Structure 1
Amino acid sequence: MPSPARSTPHPGPLCTDRGVQLSAELTSAVAGARRRAARTGDGQIDTAHLLHSLLESDPAVRDAFSGAEMSRLLGYLVQRSIGYGLRWAGAVEDSGAVPVVREYAGWSPAAATAMTAALAWAERRGVPRASGLGLLAALTGDPECRAVEVLRRGGVEPEVLARRLADQAGGAPG
């Protein structure tokens, strides 16, 4: 039986009251983030886990970056997997920059807030499924989260990325 520190509970039902659910790519990214968190002994899915999994599982998210940006981002994320993120190990990601959403067990406050924003954005746009691009845009909305730190270290300006994503999709999540 895994120790509590190593287990990552299944998040709550990822849908809104009006039925917005996750796209297949976003479902895959969430599953990958959950596995990544469990594998590294993190008690919660954080925004860097989500970013890493989005980059691996969603072609539309990958297309939002240049080839050089992708290489740098994946390089930082691999470093995190082998030790870069040790300073984050065992610490709850809560940047304090956004309101905390507590409805997702096993998610950091920042990751839960980003997912809630991506779901709400899809709902406001009248689409039945939240997308990886919507979650990526939501991640850029918290300037103090781990995903934004990874983006910056990879040479990506989160504010520029957020504007580009909002222009492509007709407004920012949140």
Structure 2
Amino acid sequence: MQPRIPRQSDQEQDCRRPDAPADDARLSDELAAVVTGARRRAVRDGDRQIDTAHLLHSLLEHDPDVYAVFGEGPQIARLLGYLVQRSIGYGLRWQGAVEDSGAVPVVMHGEGFSPLAASAMRDACRRAAHRGDAQARGIDLLAAIVADPQARAVEVLGRAGVDANALRARIDGRRDEYVGGGETGR
């Protein structure tokens, strides 16, 4: 019998451990809340793993910096609509399938993050460390998620009319706002 609550994967634990390797950063409190929300969403959706769409949905719910990158207008409303639809059945075709780009062999843990979500978490930690921030933030995770065109979150973005490449360019254009604390005037 599969456990109902996805456990933390090794990759997620590596990002949270104080003794993590030097190239990993810790998660900010906001990003830890995002992961918790994504885990809850995965359980509600009946999924065995947290995927990038769960992370995207949770990022939009919990992180004002991420929400702000999308700006105002109909795209954000459509995006949230697709994510909610996915919660109530849109993603059923994904249940039981592993989110994977095919770039690396899939290791079936049965729990935790999908391979793409785990990779995005690692990349978010690297992104934070690269800019000299001690903690990965939601904006780091969003940038990592939209970098992989095979991510379920990128598919949802596309269906909502959001260009993932343009979104990544906006994130990179605002990078200076996130250096040294990630605050954007909140």
Q: Same fold (TM over 0.5)?
A: yes
Any unmatched runs of 5+ in structure 1? none
TM-score by length of 1: 0.88
CA contact (8 A) 2:5 2:39 kept: no
1:10 to 8, 11, 35: 8
Q: 2:57 aligns with which of 47, 52, 60?
A: 52
Partner of 1:118: 124
- For 1:157 and 1:44, the matched residues in 2 are separated by 25
Q: CA deviation at 1:85?
A: 0.2
User: Which residue among 32, 42, 45 is the counterpart of 1:40?
Assistant: 45
Within the candidate set 139, 147, 150, 1:144 is matched to: 150
- Report how far residue 167 of structure 1 moved: 1.7
How far off its partner does 1:7 sit?
A: 3.1
Q: CA RMSD in A?
A: 1.9
Q: Give aligned pairs, total.
A: 166
Following the alignment from structure 1 to structure 2, what is the Cα–Cα distance between the partners of residues 76 and 5? Answer: 27
Once the two structures are superposed, residues 116-147 of structure 1 have per-residue CA deviations (whole angstroms, 9 ceiling, x without a partner) of: 11101111111111010010001111001100
TM-score scaled to structure 2, two decimals?
0.83
| Residues 148, 158 of structure 1: 8 Å contact kept | yes
Q: Is the 8 A contact 2:100 2:106 kept in 1?
A: no
Pairwise CA distance, 1:6:
3.0
In 2, the alpha carbon distance for the partners of 1:101 and 1:113 equals: 12
Q: Report if aligned partners of 1:99, 1:113 keep a CA contact under 8 Å in 2.
A: no
- Residue of 78, 81, 95 corresponding to 2:84: 78
Give the aligned partner of residue 165 of structure 2: 159
Q: Which amino acid aligns with 2:69?
A: A
Whether the 8 Å CA contact 1:26–1:130 is kept in 2: the answer is yes
What is the aligned-residue identity percentage? 52
- Read off the aligned partner of 2:53 and give its amino acid letter: A
Question: Displacement, 1:41?
Answer: 1.3
Q: Which moved more, 1:61-70 or 1:148-157?
A: 61-70
CA distance in 1, matches of 2:80, 2:94: 18
1:4-28 residue CA offsets vs partner (Å, 9 max, x unmatched): 1633112331244136211121111
Is 1:135 the equivalent of 2:141?
A: yes
The letter for the 1-side match of 2:116 is A
Q: Which amino acid aligns with 1:10?
A: Q
Counterpart residue identity of residue 55, structure 2: L
